[in-house]
Every structure is written in C-alpha cells, then in structure tokens.
Amino acid sequence: MPNIAIEKASPNYNERPAKAVIDTIIIHYTGMPSLEAALHRLCDDSPEAVGRGRVSAHYVIDEDGTIYALVDEYERAWHAGVSFWRDRRDMNDCSIGIELVNRGHEFGYQDFTRPQMDALVKLCLGIMKRHPIKPVNVLGHSDIAPTRKVDPGEKFDWQYLARKGIGLWPDTDVEDNVRSQMYFSSQAVLRGALVRYGYDPDADTESMCRAFNLHYGRSDSKVLTVRAATMLSWLNRKALK
C-alpha cells in the first residue's frame, strides 16, 4: 500500500450492513476548485452540510499523488449516493470510494496527472489484496449513477488502469464486430446489452450509452460509438461469464 501522507478523518460515515462484502471500487473526481475545498466538503458535518447532504470518501488523491485517508475501508463512506450496479442498489454498502482531485466539468476539467494515476494504481492494488474485487466491479461514478453523474469523465484513462491489472479493457475480435451491429439495428437489443453489463434498468438508454462511452469510448456522447459497441459485445460475451 502506498504511503498515506495525511490521515484526515471524516466524521461522515456509518457501519456497513451486517455481512456486507466489500467487492467494488468506485472512482470519482472531486469536481471542486481545489484540494482544500474538496477535503472541507468531504469532512463537513456542520448544520449546513446536514441540510444539503453530508458526503465522504475513503480516500482522496491529490494531483501530486499524495493520498489522504478519510474513512476506514471497513466503514461505510457516503460517496455513491443513489446508485445501482448489477442488481444491487445503494453501492455505499459494498464499495470503497476514491476521489481524484480534479476541478471537473463545472470548474475546468483537466487531465489526470501521472503521479495521481500511479498513486491510484498502487492504492487499488492494495485494496484488491484486502477485498474480493472482480475486474467488472472497478467502476466510475457515472457507471453506478448514469442519469446523475459523469465523473471521472472522458479524460480518465481506464485502459492504463487495466494494463496495471485493475478493471477491464476488452480485446475485441471479428465476432464482436458482427454482434455489435445488432445494437445499432435494435434499441431493445442495445438496451438489454447495457442492462446485462450492469447498468440500472430504470435509467434511460441515452444515459447508459453516455456512461459506457465515458468508460470505454473516451467520449461523453449519448450515442454509442462503433468501437464502444464492440467492447460492449466482448464484455457481455466473455467478462461476465
């Protein structure tokens, strides 16, 4: 596990449900102007924070790679909000939330730095040694809340993470090219494939397509890219067996 330079305990957490299994990593961006603003928000339990909703995460990673520990992994941090993944709701119960310092789309979305990504890799590898986390359960906030969230966004390098052994990056072939054509010929088939992969069946199809593009297409388009469609085929054909 990488050196955690600063432990900054957040009061915003509670116990996980009995028998809860920690089996998911959820990656966010802070979406705030600075590290200081993000840490304040994630540790704020003032009456004003209670009124707008207290939030937290297990870890925050600054642009220089410094890791801040806010909530113990075995406690339930409040980072996911209303969420769904693969037939489960309220993903706070079973997940570890990691916030990457980035101003986000509202304040000037920028590339994630290499020190930040390298620290994330080391942190995730350590988490995966401690908990039974399958590759399909390494997710972005947009994956578990496609109608509400877009983070960590189209600039986040999921392929780099997968090369380090964290999460998935499909290796498609001709069969996936053929199968993906069905997604463009039938909205029902496309929607079924997205739900099978893990998305909330209550979400609209455009939001699911955007979430999938954010993860696998490096795009925020609400129309599935051709390349992303072949990757969806591969995921449903191989990764979910």
Range of the domain at 216: 174-239
**Domain's final residue, options 117, 132, 163:** 163
* Number of domains within the chain: 2
**Domain's final residue, options 100, 129, 163:** 163
CATH code assigned at 141: 3.40.80.10
DSSP state of 16: P
pLDDT of residue 225: 85
**Domain's final residue, options 163, 195, 215:** 163
205 and 117 inside one domain: no
146 and 198 inside one domain: no
Query: What tokens does 215 get?
Result: 């993860």
pLDDT of residue 238: 83
Q: What proportions of the chain, in percent to the nearest 5, are helix, strand and coil?
A: 40, 15, 45
C-alpha dist (Å) from residue 228 to 78, 91, 169: 31, 25, 11
Question: Where in the sequence numbering do the catalytic residues fall?
Answer: 99
Look at residue 169 and tell me if it is in a domain: no
133 and 189 inside one domain: no
Look at residue 168 and tell me if it is in a domain: no
pLDDT means per 10 residues in the chain (241 residues)?
A: 72 96 98 97 93 95 96 97 96 98 96 97 96 96 98 98 96 90 92 96 97 95 92 89 62
Are the beta carbons of 133 and 23 closer than 8 angstroms?
yes
